[in-house]
A and B are shown apart, each in its own frame.
Chain A
């Protein structure tokens, strides 16, 4: 996987090719560049700045297949003014894109290891490209497990894809929700309750965590109890990214700029900054 070297400071209009409503507040956009533009390439874990004309710009992780350069895929949860307005987008609307920004999950270095992906809420979106990547060269990795926690069953995204992936013999997927109505047949409990089910071999496991900081904080604690060391855990941080290049300082955490130095960090190197009241 190679990142592009194009000028990421320029906003380029893209056409909405497909709008998929995932849940009541989450949607997936498939975007295509204007005619004549080159294919888009990115690494799993990177993000784009999405600009809605006259409304504002937001950082959104790329959630598509890194091997498919024909379209740019973003899954968005409508949390703020910009993302809520994006929910009204329809096919053939325009949206501006700058990017890709940030570093990536260094999965190309993880060959031979068991991979544990732990996602909370919309955090499953930035991890989906990791799964695409691994599945495209499945023989290079050991056991691959996805733990996915959500608030309720109606908040689960990528349902049909997850159901399909669950049918594979070379992928383990565990899903849990915080609460559910009686028709739900799956697990109920926070995502950390899934960790014992994953039967981790701490000596050979690399964990990739993505979700709200609080979710990652408790997941790290549980993984540590299982024996996974700090240099075997990667986290994806989310901050108020604005410029995307480490100039404006909005996403600064201590000496790090999440947009430029992250969003992916080896936990061992970020531990002194993580979950600090001052940060």
Chain B
């Protein structure tokens, strides 16, 4: 039915892709430019900004911070959400709907409101400008998405397997470790990856509460653009873009492999 408009829809898709990609490509081109400020088009092409990025502690430390905060907040979010997702899937209890609403709250409250709340609250309990503070805040922000992904995978889980495992002689903990976890692991990893990305990408809350000591990469980039117009920002953007593209490629390839029928 859409055969006749094949060319049209394909050109439209290419246009949209270009519209999204061109700003990224501009930044990528600028990252190879010479000089101490951002300019397009660059007068000459070098890798000196890349060298500067990897040499500058004011950039590598926020990068490392972002990785640590992303990883630990993802682990924290998974640790909190996994029991909750199991409980919501398996049991009916009083106040279930209200508690589900509370779990999903970070998705609905504007980030700026959350950021202000963390700013005042963490200030009072001494978590302001600390890694721990940012990790806790980012874990909270990631809870809804992690909870949604885990709930979906638990809903598709065949609970007879738990009974089968028990009938084989396994207690609750062994059943979880040897049956539930291996089957659910891929989707739990995806949930963790989403938590990591949401933390890595998060700027507003980080601006308010991360301070100098726990400065994240997005915060550092924001400061750089405002104060220095440093070409290293373009380097970081290009590296991030490359990393995301690589991850997307790996995921796409794995999905294609999974979609192929199993070899007999």
Partners in one complex: no
Interface residues of B (CB under 8 A from A): none
Interface residues of A (CB under 8 A from B): none
